[in-house]
Amino acid sequence: MDPLDARYPFLASARSAVREAGVELATLVATDDPVVDRAGERVERALLEGTTESETPREWGAREELLSYPVARILVSLLEADAAVEKYALAEAKTAHDRFRTDFDRDDGRPDRITLQALLREFDLAGRCRPEPAPRGAPEPQWFRLAVGAYLDLLDPGWGDDWRLVNRELADGEVRIEREELYRLLRAAVETRVAEGLPFDGVGDPIATELEREVADLRALLAERTGTTDVEIVVPELFPPCLAGLLERVRAGEAVSPQARFALLSFLIAIGLDTEEGLVKFTQGGIDVETVGETAATLRDRNGSQYPPPSCATLSAYGICENEADHRAVAGHPLDYYGRRLQEVDDPTGWRDREPEPAD
């Protein structure tokens, strides 16, 4: 198998190679082929680390790298979660981005190396992207002109104002972009290609059955890393039953385990109770200011991002969640459960809006 296809399995030539190999994916899955292990690792690292690079690359050959890609797509489809598709496509794109940046900077004739022109051709950009002449002494062009239609097709509105067309140099239907900006646009093209058609139907019961264990493990990982994080309203009666019961115990002054206290606070912080005063007031003094402050600091990484609260599986392992009222049938993560319950209620009234007006 072509090492270039194995390194960039989203290429059209890679898809053709899989077809020409005559390999039945159902057979690979049924025989527990090493390809399945690599596919599971591929998706797992995408969910946890944002990459599909193997932690043990020397264990896998071109065959496993190439064939694990379509099996990984099956696994992602069986997860039946938009978040899984998004995370997986982004991870494949980031991995490809790291690889092709390295390839573009070298010219050693390796068979698994891709060139900039080859990647542009892959996405029908070769005739719509042209380099500006490089300054004298420069090894390669640093600026390119990209057709405005192609630019808009690849642009992500979330990239910021610098990418808005009104803030770009535009002439004769072409947008002027730097080399690194072109690389980012190519990464977006890869991400779109990977996500295309996912999740797909028609996996088939035999394959789905054979992959039940892998899918269950991946669902647990996905639950740990996802959740409805844009909720900014506190409606206690819509909490997952396990956390609602925990809140009642805390408000009653009962002693709870550090894990239970952490689970409750991380959930409350995630849904918008982000001040120490508000948290102490909401728990009716059941958790002191010092503990609230320490937990809030723990939940933020060094970049200031917020970690999600534990999943139902983790809460169960600590004896906090007993799947009361079978609430895990609604969702496997407290934030997902809460978000879905909120969608069922028209114009819910948040806890802050229920506070009594101060007496005159």
Q: Which long-range contacts (CB under 8 A, 24 or more apart) does 277-283 make?
A: 282/234, 282/351, 283/247, 283/250, 283/251
- Token duo for residue 244: 């609602």
The confidence score (pLDDT) of residue 135 equals 78
Residue 180 in this model has a pLDDT that exceeds 70? yes
Q: Rounded CA gap, 344 and 46, in Å?
A: 32
- The answer on pLDDT for 28 being more than 50 is yes
What is the predicted pLDDT for the residue at 352?
72
Two tokens, residue 349: 């009234």
CA distance 220 to 63: 28
| Count of beta carbons in the 10 Å neighbourhood of residue 15 | 15
**pLDDT tens, residue by residue, 215-249:** 988 887 776 655 444 556 788 899 999 999 999 99
Please classify residue 78 by burial: count the beta carbons closer than 10 Å to its beta carbon, then call 0-12 exposed, 13-18 middle and 19+ buried: buried
- Of 241, 240, 222, nearest to 231 by C-alpha is 240
pLDDT at 323: 85
Question: Rg (Cα) of the chain, in Å, rounded?
Answer: 25
Q: What pLDDT score was predicted for residue 29?
A: 93
Q: 153 pLDDT exceeds 90?
A: yes
pLDDT in the model for residue 230? 54
Orientation angle between helical segments 12-21 and 62-79, nearest 10 degrees = 100
Residues above pLDDT 70, as percent of the chain: 91
Strand partners, 330: none
Range with lowest mean pLDDT among 121-130, 154-163, 201-210, 230-239: 230-239
Choose from 5-9, 22-26, 228-232, 327-331 the range with maximum mean pLDDT.
5-9
User: Is pLDDT above 50 for 303?
Assistant: no
> Amino acid letter at 57?
P
pLDDT given at position 301: 43
| pLDDT over 70 at 136, yes or no | yes
> What is the residue extent of each domain of the chain?
3-209, 227-354
Report the pLDDT averaged over residues 176-195: 96
Lowest mean pLDDT among 72-81, 91-100, 211-220: 211-220
The whole-angstrom separation of Cα 258 and Cα 47 is 27
pLDDT of residue 306 exceeding 60: no
Structure tokens at 271: 């849904």
β-strand partners of 130: 145
Whether 193 has a pLDDT exceeding 70, the answer reads: yes
CB-based contacts of 81, cutoff 8 Å, min separation 6? 219, 222, 226
- Helix/strand/coil (H, E, C) string of 153-169? HHCCHHHCHHHCHHHCC
Q: Give pLDDT, residue 354.
A: 67
- Between 336 and 27, whose confidence is greater? 27
For residue 176, the model assigns a pLDDT of: 97
Order the strands of the 174-178 sheet from edge to edge. 129-131, 143-147, 174-178, 170-171
Identify the pLDDT of residue 295. Answer: 67
Separation of first and last alpha carbons in the chain: 81
Between 72 and 333, whose confidence is greater? 72
